[in-house]
Amino acid sequence: MKFSYLAILLLFWGSTTFAQAKGDRGYHVNVGDTAPDIVLHLTDGTTTSLQQLRGKVVVLQFTASWCSVCRKEMPHLENEIWQNFKNGNFILIGVDYDEPLAKVKAFRKEMKVTYPFALDPGAKIFTKFANKGAGVTRNVVINPEGKIVFLTRLYDTTEFHAMKKKIASLLSGGK
C-alpha cells in the first residue's frame, strides 16, 4: 500500500514543476490565463505592449538592481535564453521594479545584459501579475496567442531549464 502512494506522489511530482502550481508564490495570475495587456516603456525611449507583441513568445523578467537573486539569474537569462532565442519570434524584456531610468540603465550595463529593459514606476506592471510585496526575480512566459504558459519565482536551476525547454518548444511550434 505504501508503494502505491509513493508511486502516485512521484508520478505527480514528475509531471509538474514548482512554478506551475496555482496560487503559488505571490502570483495572482496562473498558467492558462490571458496576460494582461500592459504598455512597456523601454529604456531606449520606445514603447511597446503585449498586444503589439502578439505572435511572439514573450518573457517578462521582473527584476531590480537591489535584488541579489536577480543578479544571479541575469547572466543565465542573457547567455542561455536571450542569446539562444533572440529572433523575430522571441522577446525577453527585463521589467525593472520601480527604479528611475538612470539607475536602470546603469544596472543593465553593470550586469552586461543586452536584452531590452522597461521601467515600472510604482510597480504598476508588476502588480498586474503578482502581489505588490511578493518580490521580484520572477519570469512570466507568454505564448504567441497571449496566454501565460510558464511562471518562475527565484532562481532554481531545474525550474530555469524547464522554462528554457518550454520556450524552445513554443518557438518550434509546440504548445
Which cell is 65 given?
538592481
Report the pLDDT averaged over residues 158-167: 97
Asked if 115 and 77 count as a contact pair (C-beta separation under 8 A), the reply is: yes
Classify residue 115: in a domain, yes or no: yes
In angstroms, the CA 129 to CA 51 distance is 16
Report the pLDDT averaged over residues 145-159: 97
At 141, which amino acid appears?
A: V
- How many domains does the chain contain in total? 1
Q: How confident is the model at residue 133 (pLDDT cuts 50, 70, 90)?
A: confident
Classify residue 120: in a domain, yes or no: yes
Classify residue 92: in a domain, yes or no: yes
Question: The whole model's pTM is what?
Answer: 0.86
Collapse the DSSP code of 173 into the 3-class scheme (helix H, G, I; strand E, B; otherwise coil) and give the result: coil
Element (H, E) at 170: helix 157-171
Asked if 93 and 60 count as a contact pair (C-beta separation under 8 A), the reply is: yes
Asked if 72 and 110 count as a contact pair (C-beta separation under 8 A), the reply is: no
What does the pLDDT look like over 106-122, one tens digit per residue?
999 999 999 999 999 99
In angstroms, the CA 21 to CA 15 distance is 11
Classify residue 13: in a domain, yes or no: no
Domain span including residue 37: 18-171
Give me the sign of the Cα torsion angle 156, 157, 162, 167. positive
What does the pLDDT look like over 30-51, one tens digit per residue?
999 999 999 999 999 999 999 9
Reference 62, options 112, 122, 135, 161; nearest CA is 135
CATH code at position 152? 3.40.30.10
Classify residue 104: in a domain, yes or no: yes
